[in-house]
Amino acid sequence: MIVQGRAISNGKAKGEVIKLNEPLSFLGGVDGSTGDLRVRDGNVAGKILVFPRGKGSTVGSYVMYDLMVHGKEPAAVINESAETIVATGAVISSIPMVDMVPSVNMFEDGDIVTVDANAGTVEIEGIVFKEVVSSVVSRNGKCILEKRHDNSRSFPGHWSLVAGKIEDGETPVEAAHREILEETSIEVGEPLGQMDPIYCREGNTLFKVHPFHFDAGDKEPVINDENDGYVWASVEDAESMKTVTDTVLVMRHFLG
């Protein structure tokens, strides 16, 4: 799978991903002489270093240069948004760098990735890409959560919003309407809200998720055989349940 980003520091590299979920300050976050990370286990030397963005002191640029001097620099850097300190450090250290990838959640530790920072592209090997919808169908501050079968192909045994794959020729909102009708027998109106797409991984499958919010009206769901059952759940309820990735995040966005 090839992701189009933006070139920051030219060059090409291939290697294994090491990922941080939080912004990184090279000053204090990485040992400039060994490449050891101080914010988690691992070493950046020769790795494709993925993190959302940089932070901290401008000295961080020179920590990146120090890594290069000691032969411990990352093979490449991938960010959601380039911050001046990291961009400068990548350039002066000749580290290929790409930013404007949609989300670091597209990557997992151990992925094999090719970075072409001349073209601004990132290729993740062995990934299956699926575009799906996931809908908060709510009434009185609660929404429908469906229980997936224990033998479901994705997220078995988890609770999920009303979700499913976007079929060829469908828009995301058309897919959301269809999935809600098929899975709950509820015919909803226009969306009350929509989030920007979010990304999540399950093994080698990457999901691009389009979240929506709909009013359930006064009808009670009639669940089809794709799921084991359903509950009406609040955000607080969902926090203690075994839910699909980012279910609570989406519920909190729409339901508060």
Which CATH number fits the domain that encloses residue 199?
Answer: 3.90.79.10
What's the whole-model pTM score? 0.90
Q: Residue 58 sits in a domain of what CATH number?
A: 3.50.30.10
48, 88: one domain: yes
Phi-psi region of 94 (alpha: psi -120 to 50; beta: other; left: phi over 0): left
Which of residues 124, 155, 184 is at a domain's end?
Answer: 124
- The count of domains in the chain is 2
Which residues are CB-contacts of 192 (< 8 A; sequence separation ≥ 6)?
A: 213, 214, 215, 254
Band (pLDDT 50/70/90 cuts) for residue 133 is very high
Cα-trace Rg, the chain: 21
Mean pLDDT of the chain: 97
43, 136: one domain: no
Which of residues 124, 150, 173 is at a domain's end?
Answer: 124
Residue with tokens 């479901």: 152
Domain enclosing residue 12, as ranges:
2-124
Angle between helices 84-92 and 60-69 in degrees, nearest 10: 20
53, 78: one domain: yes
Which of residues 124, 149, 178 is at a domain's end?
Answer: 124
pLDDT in tens, 158-205: 999 999 999 999 999 999 999 999 999 999 999 999 999 999 999 999
Cα–Cα distance, 15 to 37 (Å, whole number): 17
By annotation, the residues acting in catalysis are 57
